Chains A and B, each alone.
Chain A
Amino acid sequence: MPVSDFQPVIGLEVHAQLLTQSKIFCGCSTAFGAEPNRNTCPVCLGMPGVLPVLNQRVAEFAVRTGLALECTIRPTSVWSRKNYFYPDLPKGYQITQFDQPICEHGRLVIDTPLGEKVIRILRIHMEEDAGKSVHDAGGGQSLVDLNRAGVPLLEIVSQPDLRDADEAVEYLKAMRDVLVYLGVNDGNLEEGSFRCDANVSVMPKGSTTFGQRCELKNLNSFRFLKQAIEYEIARQVDVIESGGKVVQETRLWDVSKGVTRSMRSKEEAHDYRYFPEPDLPPLHVSAEAIDAAAQALPELPRAKLQRFTSQYGLPAYDARILTAERPLADYFEACAGHYKDYKKLSNWFLGELMRLLKEEGTPLSALRFTPAQLGALLGAVDQGTVSANAGKDVLGEMFRTGKAPADIIAEKGLAQVSDTGAIEAVVDDILAKNAGEIEKYRAGKKQVFGFFVGQVMRAMKGKGNPALVNELLKKKLGD
């Protein structure tokens, strides 16, 4: 059977570092990039006799995320120990949640070529991250840095509802957008603060029994996720086609070779001997706290995108870019309060504004001009006070100096000339100097008209009102 006769089945496990100041069970900083072991204390080093105390913001973020993903929030959730040995796990166990996680039974809607699709969320739980090991240190040694040990994580586990690599990528992007909108995660795949493992299996089309699955790791970009899943699907089909059986195992995506390879170690697989964590009582979340968190939820990316298309009449393409990040969407809405041609406003956002932000490396929060000033500029362009081209220069100046558009137009003499007499004088002058071109034009070579427009605009340093220039030229040329 060819690959097309098989149905892939995919589920994703997302690990998201929570944007807290301090670690989950101690007061050490979560800051990235510190000198190794600079952010460690007896609790996160796993010294004997210490006790973990839960950071309340971790619980708040977990509830917020659970509500945004339409989960049921468990009023009492329980901490467990997951036991295994590894040098970057100082206690010999990870404090996590096992049989009674804080959130369950959620959903996330994604877009597919066939329309909307609901991906069910199995569970979300809180846990502590492990430290970082560096293996290529030389001297037969690995080096361990425990700054990351105890950094709070949410693990978000989907049901195996994804059916190809593209759906998996859509899901991961949608998940990242939600977490970033909620302010609980920075969405950074490269630095590993937003990570993903993929469970992949294949079964013959029409079958209802899932095949044996493999877990893929090291997927630190959307591109790698897609490549790794596609490679793995083809590999598993090959194994089955050649009469073999897929073995359940953990496989690592090898970026340089573009293959997944087995990570099977001598470690006895998945015998973690979970048991309730005796050092931490269960976490109770009151109905009032859940209600308050639900009330405080921000508008989520998908809802905002749909509202941008309906309320502002924007194409989906525009709405998607404008709502990709919450600050940009908020700024657009602030400007929409001052300028009512929303599509034109969107064009300026997608064109000039985003170009300036990118070129100057300025965050939106550092913009020097107000939404009212941007509205005033676009109004001036509409009224012909300034040409669209000069308007771009004005925006650049506003971007750099924060001056009001009217002041910039006045200072730089950018005001558009709409005085018929003044334009007519220039038009007459240009025509007088180009008798030969007039002959060509009258003989039927109509493209010469563009030449005249160019000459007039150049003589007027680009400030002539284009509509008037066109009109006067046509009149004088006898059209």
Chain B
Amino acid sequence: MALTLEQVRHVATLARLSLTPEEEQRFTTQLSAVLDAVDQLQALDVEAVAPTCHATLTSSRLREDVTRPSLPPEKSLANAPAKSDTSFAVPKIIE
């Protein structure tokens, strides 16, 4: 299944990736090859098989509703490129 250049650009935009024209071409070829590989599975008859939504067959482990200590804010913010008091500071988001 051949992807179009536009589809590759769309996916790149959604993923916030900026690609060079050369990369756009390369990824169009590579991603198409991935889809071709997946396409082979379409030949199988899976009518009676429930879709696999998880690789493990276990059921959810649950936790009790009890609080545990959080990180001190200075630790939570330790990797932040910018901060203001105990808030993360980011370039202004215009709505």
A positions within 8 Å CB-CB of B: 20-22, 26-29, 35-42, 45, 53-59, 78, 83, 85-87, 100, 133-135, 137, 140-146, 252, 263, 265, 268, 271, 273, 276, 278, 280-284
Minimum CB–CB distance for A49 against chain B, Å:
14
Minimum CB–CB distance for B27 against chain A, Å:
16
With A21-B65, A37-B76 known as contacts, the answer to whether A145 contacts B87 (CB < 8 A) is yes
CB <8 Å contact, B86 and A36:
yes
Question: How many contacts A-B (CB < 8 Å)?
Answer: 137
CB <8 Å contact, A141 and B92:
yes
When C-beta atoms are compared, the residue in chain B nearest to A35 turns out to be: B86
CB <8 Å contact, A142 and B65:
no
Minimum CB–CB distance for A95 against chain B, Å:
12
Q: Which residues of A lie under 8 Å from residue B48 when comparing CB positions?
A: none
Q: Which residues of B lie under 8 Å from residue A40 when comparing CB positions?
A: 70-71, 73, 76
Q: Which residues of B lie under 8 Å from residue A141 when comparing CB positions?
A: 82, 84, 89-92
When C-beta atoms are compared, the residue in chain B nearest to A280 turns out to be: B60
CB <8 Å contact, A27 and B54:
no
Interchain CA distance A144-B85 in the complex, whole Å: 11
Interchain CA distance A459-B85 in the complex, whole Å: 69
Q: Which residues of B lie under 8 Å from residue A21 when comparing CB positions?
A: 65-67
If over half of A's interface residues share one DSSP class (helix, strand or loop), that class is named, otherwise mixed; here it is loop
CB <8 Å contact, A144 and B90:
yes
When C-beta atoms are compared, the residue in chain B nearest to A275 turns out to be: B53
CB <8 Å contact, B90 and A36:
no
Residue interface bits B69-85, CB-to-A below 8 A is 1, else 0:
11101001100001011
Can you name 7 A-B residue pairings with CB atoms under 8 Å? Answer: A40-B73, A45-B76, A54-B60, A83-B14, A144-B90, A146-B88, A282-B60
CB <8 Å contact, A135 and B71:
no
Interchain CA distance A56-B94 in the complex, whole Å: 37
B2-51 at interface with A (beta carbon < 8 Å): 10, 13-14, 16
Q: Which residues of A lie under 8 Å from residue B54 when comparing CB positions?
A: 78, 276, 278, 280-282
With A40-B76, A284-B59 known as contacts, the answer to whether A143 contacts B89 (CB < 8 A) is yes
CB <8 Å contact, B56 and A281:
yes
CB <8 Å contact, A53 and B89:
no
Q: Which residues of A lie under 8 Å from residue B87 when comparing CB positions?
A: 36-37, 134, 137, 143-145
Question: Which of B66, B85, B90 counts the most A-chain CB atoms under 10 A from its CB?
Answer: B90
Q: Which residues of B lie under 8 Å from residue A27 when comparing CB positions?
A: 63, 66-69
CB <8 Å contact, A54 and B92:
no
CB <8 Å contact, B59 and A22:
no
Q: Which of A29, A42, A53, A83 contacts B67 (CB 8 A)?
A: A29
Q: Which residues of A lie under 8 Å from residue B68 when comparing CB positions?
A: 22, 26-28, 41
CB <8 Å contact, B92 and A20:
no
When C-beta atoms are compared, the residue in chain A nearest to B85 turns out to be: A36
CB <8 Å contact, B84 and A53:
no
Q: Which of B14, B62, B84 contacts A54 (CB 8 A)?
A: B62
Q: Which residues of B lie under 8 Å from residue A133 when comparing CB positions?
A: 93
Having A85-B16, A276-B54, A282-B59, one finds 11 other A-B pairs with CB under 8 Å, namely A21-B67, A27-B67, A28-B70, A54-B62, A56-B65, A83-B14, A86-B93, A141-B89, A273-B14, A281-B59, A282-B54
CB <8 Å contact, A53 and B63:
yes
Minimum CB–CB distance for B11 against chain A, Å:
9
Minimum CB–CB distance for B9 against chain A, Å:
11
Instruction: Name the 3 nearest CB pairs between A and B, nearest first.
Output: A27-B68, A56-B62, A143-B87
Q: Which residues of A lie under 8 Å from residue B66 when comparing CB positions?
A: 21-22, 27
Interchain CA distance A85-B15 in the complex, whole Å: 8
